[in-house]
Structure 1
Amino acid sequence: MREAVNATVASKINELEEHQARILDVTFTVDRARMPVTFEKNMGIVASLGKRIDALRAGLLA
């Protein structure tokens, strides 16, 4: 049971990391001077995903 939960959590972590990477790719193609709100919003999403990933990692069953 523990292995199944850890596998599911690890899968979700990978999924969130992929989303985070895609958002960063898009964010750095945005001209920050012309679209500061979009840039800041995307960076906020990336930070939020980072916190969520850290929380999931902390919650992995030993």
Structure 2
Amino acid sequence: MLREWIRRLPSAQLLTICADIAARHSAVWRLATAELSRRRDPPHPLPERPGTVMDDRRPLARA
């Protein structure tokens, strides 16, 4: 049913959905790495986000 609904959407809406989903995944990635960095018990190596280099990503906000 969901697949059928997706198939009926115009391309512009699909592109908007994909952009939103990508942003959510990015936010989830930043939250997860911030939590691992905060815990440091035991120290965890922080994974790189696919397609980026650790040095060029924005600093994580501290809660």
Give the fraction of aligned pairs with identical amino acids, expressed as a percent.
5
What RMSD in Å do the two structures reach over aligned CA positions? 1.7
2:42 to 32, 35, 38: 35
Larger Rg computed on CA atoms: 2
**Structure 1 residues not aligned, in runs of 5+:** 55-62
How many residue pairs end up in the alignment? 42
Runs (4+) of structure 1 moved beyond 6 Å?
A: none
Q: Which has the higher contact order (CA 8 A, sep 6+)?
A: 1
**Structure 2 residues not aligned, in runs of 5+:** 1-9, 52-63
1:25-61 Cα distance to aligned partner (Å, 9 max, x none): 1011122xx413xx13xx34xx3xx32xx5xxxxxxx
TM-score between the two structures when normalised by the length of structure 1: 0.53
TM-score between the two structures when normalised by the length of structure 2: 0.52
